[in-house]
Amino acid sequence: MRPASLRTVYPGPGGFDPQEIKREFPIFASNPGLVFLDSGASAQKPRSVIDRISNYYSTDYANVHRGVYRLSARSTELFEEAREKMRAFLNAADSREIVFVRGATEGINLVAQSWGATFLKPGHEVLISELEHHSNIVPWQILRDRIGIRLVVAPIDVTAGLDLAAFEALLSPRTRLVAMTHLANATGALVPIETITRLAHRHGAKVLIDGCQAAPRLSVDVQALDCDFYVFSGHKTYGPTGIGVLYGRYELLSEMPPWQGGGEMILNVTFEKSEFQDPPHRFEAGTPDISGAIGLGTAVDFIEELGRDNILEHEEALTGYGVDRLSRIPDLRMVEAGQRRLGILSFDLEGVHPHDLAQVLDQHQVAVRAGHHCAQPLVEKLGLAATTRASLGVYNDESDIDRLAEALGAAREMFLR
**For binding to another protein (CB under 8 A), which residues are involved?**
352-356, 359-360, 363, 370-372, 376, 379-380, 385-386, 414-415
Comparing CB distances to another protein, the nearer of 327 and 363 is 363
Least distance CB 414 / another protein (angstroms): 6
Instruction: Report the distance separating Cα 326 and Cα 373, nearest Å.
Output: 20
User: How far is residue 18's CA from residue 315's CA, in Å, rounded to a whole number?
Assistant: 11
Residues β-bridged to residue 208: 179, 229
Angle at 213 (CA atoms; ends 209, 216), nearest 5 degrees: 110
For 346, the 3-state DSSP assignment is: strand
CB of 372 to another protein, least distance (A): 5
Q: Which is nearer to another protein, 386 or 401 (CB)?
A: 386
The amino acid sitting at 272 is E
- Report the distance separating Cα 53 and Cα 181, nearest Å: 30
Q: What is the DSSP secondary structure assignment for residue 39, as one 8-state letter?
A: T
374 catalytic per annotation: yes
Tell me how far, at minimum, the Cβ of 212 lies from another protein, in Å. Answer: 20
Beta strands in 200-331 (DSSP E): 206-210, 229-233, 244-248, 266-269, 274-276
Minimum CB distance to another protein, residue 386 (Å) = 5
Residue 6, classed as helix, strand or coil, is helix
What is the Cα 381 distance to its own chain's centre? 22
Q: Tell me the sheet residues that pair with 371.
A: 387
Q: Which is nearer to another protein, 74 or 353 (CB)?
A: 353
Q: Which C-beta is closer to another protein: that of 374 or that of 394?
A: 374
For residue 222, CA distances in Å to 93, 100, 256 come to 9, 16, 19
Catalytic residue among 300, 374, 378, 390: 374
Residue with Cβ nearer another protein (33 or 330):
33
Write down the least CB distance from residue 353 to another protein, Å: 4
Q: Please give the positions annotated as active site.
A: 374
